[in-house]
């Protein structure tokens, strides 16, 4: 039994070895000191990490904090879990001032949080009574969901370690306990004051404190005061335990996610340089490329490891994970976080510097990524993956660790400027075939032959027999639109987009230098390409080039301006039963947000029936990897392209339209593997447009080209 003297507050407990005030003050000082110590230890790896300049554009960054952190922008993409998270997050925000008030009242009984002493005080009390109730209920719902419904995306396959359910339930339990203690503290205070005749107020109607107050109202006053002090102690201990426990697991994201979002990457489609603190011209001075040990990550990337909430959305949307490749982005992060916790202990000295690939990560895991960006698009906390994966690849390449199947294409790129090892002088041969003569030969730009627009073709469209039809269709369209354009022909080399993303930075830089000079010498004022990978490279990886557009953007703006008109699809008999669906190429959609233009172009063709696949736009499912992924043979249970073809069939489509030669290769191949030949076909947007556009100049030759194009779309 204890005695409480003076006003009704835990601070006035006097019968213990130390007075209540001192005890609670000591508890709080200890809690805060522990938290500061633990967090300072967690900062050590960040201080040892590589530079990463994320301090620019503060207003943009603040805007992102408002949108993605405070506004929880991405959470509703998973409706139930997202709503639950938003409710809990809002409850926490509302309860923050109340939690601190409760703690301080244990030391200073008359303390009132600034702003809560006036009329807003009771309103805030009511709001927080309901918040505590709702958060408590959400914890129960979340625990039931974890234990009974067991969403698949929370599961941890054996190869990635043990499950995280116990930890999650423990945390949910702690938060529920915090809410219960807060409510009991409030209820016992109201009941005690009522019995003492000092107040006639009650907690908010039907809230958890209200229900508890009804249950304890008839207890003796001393018991109520005992409950109040006990609730205070449980609340304070749970609060500080949670505060200090969070930096040991997924709940650390509560503290770090705000910073992670503030410092998040602002430009999509880009890849970080080898070293932020070394310019490209001085890379020869860098002794080691990429990430080989943990300390080779940048400080922001380590902050990402702390900020992951383990929600599983990234892996749930990762096509590599979906087809059984040995990669699930979530576990790239979880494994790194476990690594940092183990090698940078809170008690003891750091012990790191071990190679990551071969220990923490397998080679296949790192090569399995198609850099499609689905993981980054989905992550509510803006955790980055592509830059980390590219950096890990750079480290492997630097150690001479190149997959067998990629050695030949990489060598060919070095010697011939294309991954097929074909002759440079044949690069423009696709443009010489007779069908093109109806709209005039394609100009090869040089000192004598100039043009306003460069059509940058890139390797696959230049050399692959099937993809050359995309080049020819593009040329016919540009010609039909009256554009003064040309190609670089033999002077063009691979854009290097995939080379860079495969970690071969020096090779990429030599390709970029060569193409950059050739483009400048050509004197063009605008670049158009039909390859989203080239588009992304020229737009983001190259410097000081004329503006770059993907052909779908050109087509959409010409259609809107009335310069591009179409004949009805019905004039082609074979189109009668065709249902089209558009597949978003990752480097056009997710990395560059070109979603509407290709759709608008298709929709402006009279009579064209188009359906949408369930996974489309920013949730599009990667076809299986552009660029050098065509040469890599990953371990997988099925092909991504096959999964995509089935998605198209489920949507009721029988023609898949894409706007990327790599998608075309993968999907065409997948149709054969899926046994859907004759039932499903794939066609490039340029081919559809070329087939249906109204051209004045080619009337006399339309029959010839029609014959050539009848295979398009099946």
How far is Cα 106 from Cα 18, in angstroms, rounded to an integer? Answer: 14
**Helical pair 685-692 and 702-709, crossing angle rounded to 10 deg:** 150
Q: According to the binding rule CB under 6 A, does residue 320 interact with ligand SF4?
A: yes
Q: Which is nearer to ligand SF4, 189 or 501 (CB)?
A: 501
Q: According to the binding rule CB under 6 A, does residue 628 interact with ligand SF4?
A: no
Q: Pick from 75, 98, 301, 313: which binds ligand SF4 (CB under 6 A)?
A: 313
How far is Cα 56 from Cα 39, in angstroms, rounded to an integer? Answer: 25
Cβ 304 to ligand SF4 shortest distance, Å: 7
Q: Pick from 187, 318, 559, 628: which binds ligand SF4 (CB under 6 A)?
A: 318
Q: Which is nearer to ligand SF4, 31 or 373 (CB)?
A: 373
Cβ 660 to ligand SF4 shortest distance, Å: 15
Q: According to the binding rule CB under 6 A, does residue 330 interact with ligand SF4?
A: yes
Cβ 625 to ligand SF4 shortest distance, Å: 8
Beta strand spans in 399-464 (E): 443-444, 453-456
| Residues 333-352 within binding reach of ligand SF4 (CB under 6 A) | 333
Q: Pick from 208, 227, 309, 693: which binds ligand SF4 (CB under 6 A)?
A: 309
- Give the H or E element holding residue 657: strand 655-658
Q: Does residue 594 contact residue 550 with C-beta atoms inside 8 Å?
A: yes
| Stretch touching ligand SF4 by CB under 6 A, among 132-140, 311-319, 393-401, 436-444 | 311-319
How many positions of this chain bind ligand SF4 (CB under 6 A)? 27
How far is Cα 500 from Cα 497, in angstroms, rounded to an integer? Answer: 5
Q: Pick from 45, 312, 624, 661: which binds ligand SF4 (CB under 6 A)?
A: 312
Helix and strand totals (H; E) in the chain? 27, 9
Cβ 676 to ligand SF4 shortest distance, Å: 24
Q: According to the binding rule CB under 6 A, does residue 329 interact with ligand SF4?
A: yes
Q: Which is nearer to ligand SF4, 314 or 623 (CB)?
A: 314
Cβ 211 to ligand SF4 shortest distance, Å: 35
- Token pair, residue 562, equals 């009335």
Q: Which is nearer to ligand SF4, 289 or 385 (CB)?
A: 385
The CA-based angle 43-49-53, given to 5 degrees, is 100
Cβ 464 to ligand SF4 shortest distance, Å: 23
Full 3-state SS string of 341-382? HHHCCCCCCCCCCCECECCCECHHHHHCCCCCCHHHHHCCCC
Q: Which is nearer to ligand SF4, 370 or 581 (CB)?
A: 370
Residue 212 DSSP one-character state: H
Q: What are the beta bridge partners of residue 486?
A: 443, 454
Q: According to the binding rule CB under 6 A, does residue 500 interact with ligand SF4?
A: no
**Helical pair 299-307 and 20-48, crossing angle rounded to 10 deg:** 130
Q: Which of these, 662, 661, 642, lies nearest to 650 by C-alpha position?
A: 642
Q: Pick from 27, 168, 233, 311: which binds ligand SF4 (CB under 6 A)?
A: 311
How far is Cα 454 from Cα 524, in angstroms, rounded to an integer? Answer: 6
Beta-carbon count within 10 A of 432 CB: 11
Q: Which is nearer to ligand SF4, 312 or 471 (CB)?
A: 312
Count Cα neighbours of 421 within 13 Å in the Cβ-side half-sphere: 8
- Hunting for tokens 């995306």 — which residue is that? 153
Q: Pick from 20, 31, 192, 319: which binds ligand SF4 (CB under 6 A)?
A: 319
| Stretch touching ligand SF4 by CB under 6 A, among 304-312, 431-439, 494-502, 703-711 | 304-312
Q: Which is nearer to ligand SF4, 12 or 320 (CB)?
A: 320
Return all residues near 443 (Cβ < 8 A) that are at least 6 apart: 449, 451, 485, 486, 487
The site map against ligand SF4 for 364-403 (x = CB under 6 A) is: -----xxxxxxx--xx-x-x-xx-----------------
| Contacting positions for ligand SF4 (CB under 6 A) | 308-314, 318-320, 327, 329-330, 333, 369-375, 378-379, 381, 383, 385-386
């Amino acid at each position: 039994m204890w005695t409480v003297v003076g006003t009704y507050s835990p601070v006035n407990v006097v019968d213990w070895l130390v007075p209540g005030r001192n005890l609670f003050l000591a508890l709080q000082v200890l809690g805060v000191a522990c938290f500061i110590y633990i967090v300072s230890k967690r900062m050590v790896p960040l201080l040892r990490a590589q530079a990463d300049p994320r301090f620019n554009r503060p207003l943009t960054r603040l805007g992102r904090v408002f949108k993605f952190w405070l506004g929880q922008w991405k959470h509703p993409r998973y409706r139930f879990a997202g709503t639950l998270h938003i409710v809990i997050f809002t409850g926490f925000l509302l309860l923050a001032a109340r939690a601190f008030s409760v703690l301080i009242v244990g030391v200073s009984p008359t303390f009132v949080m600034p702003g809560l002493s006036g009329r807003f005080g009771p309103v805030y009390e009511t709001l927080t009574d309901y918040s505590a109730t709702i958060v408590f209920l959400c914890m129960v719902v979340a625990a039931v969901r974890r234990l009974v419904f067991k969403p698949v995306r929370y599961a941890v396959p054996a190869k990635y370690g043990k499950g995280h359910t116990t930890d999650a339930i423990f945390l949910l339990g702690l938060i529920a306990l915090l809410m219960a203690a807060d409510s009991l503290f409030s209820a016992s205070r109201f009941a005690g004051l009522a019995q003492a005749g000092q107040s006639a107020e009650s907690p908010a109607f039907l809230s958890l404190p209200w229900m508890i107050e009804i249950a304890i109202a008839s207890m003796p006053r001393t018991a109520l005061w005992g409950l109040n002090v006990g609730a205070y102690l449980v609340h304070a201990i749970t609060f500080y335990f949670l505060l200090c426990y969070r930096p040991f697991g997924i709940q650390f994201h509560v503290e770090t996610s705000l910073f992670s979002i503030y410092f998040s990457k602002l430009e999509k489609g880009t890849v970080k340089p080898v070293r932020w603190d070394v310019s490209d011209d001085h890379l020869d001075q860098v002794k080691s490329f990429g990430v080989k040990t943990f300390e080779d990550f940048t400080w922001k990337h380590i902050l990402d490891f702390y900020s992951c909430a383990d929600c599983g959305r990234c892996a749930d949307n990762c096509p590599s994970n979906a087809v059984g490749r040995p990669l699930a982005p979530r576990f790239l992060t979880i494994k790194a976080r476990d690594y940092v916790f183990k090698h940078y202990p809170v008690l003891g000295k750091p012990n790191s510097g071990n190679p990551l690939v071969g220990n923490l990560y397998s080679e296949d895991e790192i090569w399995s990524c198609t850099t499609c960006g689905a993981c980054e698009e989905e992550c509510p906390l803006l955790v980055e993956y592509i830059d980390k994966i590219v950096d890990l690849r750079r480290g492997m390449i630097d150690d001479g660790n190149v997959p067998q199947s990629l050695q030949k294409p990489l060598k060919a790129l070095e010697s011939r400027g294309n991954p097929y090892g074909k002759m440079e002088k044949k690069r423009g041969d696709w443009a010489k075939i007779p069908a093109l003569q109806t709209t005039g030969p394609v100009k090869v730009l040089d000192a004598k032959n100039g043009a306003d627009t460069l059509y940058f073709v890139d390797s696959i469209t230049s050399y692959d027999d099937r993809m050359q039809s995309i080049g020819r269709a593009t040329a016919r369209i540009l010609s039909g639109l009256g554009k003064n354009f040309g190609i670089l022909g033999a002077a063009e080399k691979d854009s290097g987009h995939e080379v860079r993303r495969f970690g071969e930075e020096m090779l990429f830089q030599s390709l970029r230098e060569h193409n950059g000079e050739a483009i400048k010498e050509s004197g063009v004022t605008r670049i158009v390409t039909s390859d989203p990978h080239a588009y992304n490279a020229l737009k983001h990886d190259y410097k000081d080039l004329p503006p770059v557009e993907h052909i779908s953007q050109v087509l959409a703006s010409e259609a809107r301006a009335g310069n591009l008109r179409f004949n009805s699809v019905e004039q082609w008999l074979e189109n009668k039963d065709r249902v089209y669906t558009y597949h978003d190429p990752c480097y056009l959609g997710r990395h560059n947000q070109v979603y509407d233009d290709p759709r608008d172009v298709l929709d402006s063709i009279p009579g064209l029936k188009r359906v949408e696949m369930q996974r489309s736009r920013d949730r599009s499912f990667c076809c299986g990897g552009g660029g050098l992924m065509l040469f890599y043979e990953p371990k997988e249970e099925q092909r991504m392209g096959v999964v995509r073809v089935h998605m198209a069939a489920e949507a009721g489509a029988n023609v898949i339209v894409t706007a990327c030669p790599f998608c075309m290769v993968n999907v065409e191949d997948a149709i054969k593997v899926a046994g859907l030949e004759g039932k499903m076909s794939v066609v490039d947007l340029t081919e559809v447009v070329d087939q249906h556009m109204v051209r004045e100049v080619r009337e006399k030759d339309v029959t010839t080209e029609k014959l050539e194009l009848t295979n398009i779309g099946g």
